[in-house]
Structure 1
Amino acid sequence: MAIRRILTVDNAADLAVLKQVSKDVPAVDDALRGLMDDMLETMYDAPGIGLAAVQVGELVNVIVMDLAREGEEPAPRYFVNPKITWASEELFEYEEGCLSVPEVYDAVERPAKVKISYLNYQGEAVEEDAEELFAVCIQHEMDHLKGVLFIDHLSRLKRDRAISKVKKARRAA
């Protein structure tokens, strides 16, 4: 396993990759599991609760996630070729952050509940209902696979301020 560099919005080349649409993978194999292991290690190191493959420069429809709270046993999750098959009309607002937009947090409204289908780490097909933080996180990460960042859900002014904040923080570091 290896920690990979997380692409960020303050770097034009990174942003160009982050805005691309990822592709489905034909099968879950050892190489893909290696990528997922690297992604999980990278996410834990950051630290974060979710990471899409595009955030480490891989344009494949893969997400890793761990919603365990501090002090709980890790509960890693793997989502290959995830699809939302149903979304509630009821909306839920949550203050989101993103490893590709470090130190920026803002409220985003998303469907409160979704039904998802995906392949797991072993390549088995899974269907699952998601709500609350799980629903927020899976939708946030799936947006990445479509080239959408959480700040794209904000007003242009807030989005521009977010990018400026990240750039300013990088210059100060």
Structure 2
Amino acid sequence: MAIKPILRMGHPVLSRVADPVPDPTAPEIAALVADLKDSLAAVGGTGLAAPQIGVPLRVVIFAAPAHRLTGRPDDPEQPLTAIVNPVIEPLGDAKTLGWEGCLSIPGMRGEVPRHDRIRYHGYALDGSRIDRTVGGFHARIVQHEFDHLDGLLYPARMVDMSRFGFTEEMVAAGAVAPFPQPVKAVS
């Protein structure tokens, strides 16, 4: 459909709770998902939420590509998927620390604790129910994208702001690898 500009941290749409979608099968939701896909393809990345392109609705797209997975049995590859009105249920208290970036905070990276295992559910564009239990990177990307629907950007989840900075500077200093690093358990 169309490539939309991605809003950056500070824009008011990114800090508000997104509205529920009354009908996941509505043509305007399919058009929104097409815009999300085009916008994500234009910049790269593994996910994008509707608020990031200025639409305050509870819609996200994400993928869990094979090269990002942890190898755990609950961390399956996931092709690009759209989910409407998603909900997350953490499974246990265990969290892992992992480096995250965000298209709304370009050029920066931070170490973020996320639930190790989650169940998520919502609706596909055809109205069918999506219900999955996942861990590892798959769980991380889902939590990151779903946070956008509640007006949260990853720095709000960080526990140590000394682990937040410009990716280029951190790579040059040897603090992080050029690509995302493996996650580590924190509880």
Alignment TM-score, normalising by the size of structure 2: 0.76
Percent of matched pairs sharing the same residue: 28
- What is the aligned partner in structure 2 of residue 31 from structure 1? 28
Q: Provide the aligned length of Structure 1 versus Structure 2.
A: 157
- Give the structure 1 partner of residue 172 of structure 2: none
Deviations 1:130-151, CA, capped at 9 Å, x for gaps:
2111100111111111100001
3-state SS, counterpart of residue 133 of structure 2: strand
Partner residue of 1:84? Answer: 88
Contact 1:89 1:111 in 2 (8 A): yes
In the alignment, the residues of structure 1 paired with residue 14 and residue 61 of structure 2 have an alpha-carbon distance, to the nearest angstrom, of: 16
Change (3 A) 1:106 1:86: closer
Deviation at 1:40, TM superposition (A): 1.1
Tell me the amino acid that sits aligned with residue 59 of structure 1.
Answer: P
For the aligned residue pairs, the C-alpha RMSD in angstroms reads 2.4
| Deviation readout 1:61-80 (Å, 9 max, x if unpaired) | 0000122257xxx9210110
Structure 2 residue 160 is matched with structure 1 residue 128: no
**1:68 equivalent in alignment to 2:68:** no
Specify the alignment match of 2:44 in structure 1. Answer: 47
Change (3 A) 1:16 1:154: same
Out of 8, 14, 18, the position equivalent to 2:14 is 18
Query: Does the residue aligned with 1:66 lie in a helix, a strand or coil?
Result: strand
Q: What SS class does the counterpart of residue 76 from structure 1 fall into?
A: strand
Shift of 1:89: 1.3
Q: Which runs of 5+ in 2 are unaligned?
A: 68-77, 170-187
2:39 and 2:20 map into 1 onto residues whose CA distance is 21
SS in 1 for 2:79: coil
The answer (yes or no) to whether the contact 1:2–1:41 under 8 Å persists in 2 is: yes
The list of structure 1 runs, each at least 4 consecutive aligned residues, that deviate by more than 3 angstroms after superposition, is 155-162
Give the conservation status (yes or no) of the 8 Å contact 1:2–1:38. yes
Report the AA paired with residue 105 of structure 1. R
1:42-63, CA deviations, whole angstroms, 9 ceiling, x for partnerless residues? Answer: 1121111010100000000000
Equivalent pair of 1:67/1:75 in contact (CA under 8 Å) = yes
Task: Note the 1:144-163 alignment, pairs <5 A.
Answer: 144-154=148-158
Contact in 1 for aligned 2:109/2:164 (Cα 8 Å): no
Three-state SS of the structure 2 residue aligned to 1:75 is strand
> 1:86 Cα deviation (Å)?
3.6
